[in-house]
């Protein structure tokens, strides 16, 4: 495995997910569930600011080794439909 397991996973960058475990900002990661490759996968989720469990997020970078950077995400299409989204 070695270096190959540390390679960034570019397939998840730009995808949205939901935090299963809230992040603590710089103090520590949470865990995000992302729909990718025809299924769902979990990753350690780092964010600049703490985010609560259930928050919808956007993956903005892969750190490799199943770790990603995320930001809180509000789907802009929900504003058109009036649907608040499904963060559950």
> 0.85 exceeded by the pTM?
no
Identify which of 77, 84, 74, 70 has the alpha carbon closest to the alpha carbon of residue 19.
70
Q: Is 87 a residue whose pLDDT tops 90?
A: no
Q: Which residue has the higher pLDDT, 84 or 43?
A: 43
SS3 state at 69: strand
Q: What is the CATH number of domain 2-74?
A: 2.40.50.140
- pLDDT tens for 59-85 read 999 999 999 999 999 988 877 776 655
SS3 state at 81: helix
Burial of 69 (0-12, 13-18, 19+ CB in 10 A): middle
Q: What is the DSSP letter of 43?
A: E
């Amino acid at each position: 495995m070695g270096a190959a397991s540390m390679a960034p996973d570019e397939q998840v960058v730009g995808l949205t997910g939901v935090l299963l475990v809230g992040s603590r900002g710089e103090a520590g990661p949470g865990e995000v569930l992302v729909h990718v490759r025809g299924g769902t996968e979990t990753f350690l989720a780092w964010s600049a600011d703490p985010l609560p469990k259930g928050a919808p997020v956007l993956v903005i970078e892969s750190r490799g080794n199943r770790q990603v950077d995320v930001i809180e995400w509000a789907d802009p299409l929900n504003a058109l439909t009036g649907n608040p989204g499904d963060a559950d």
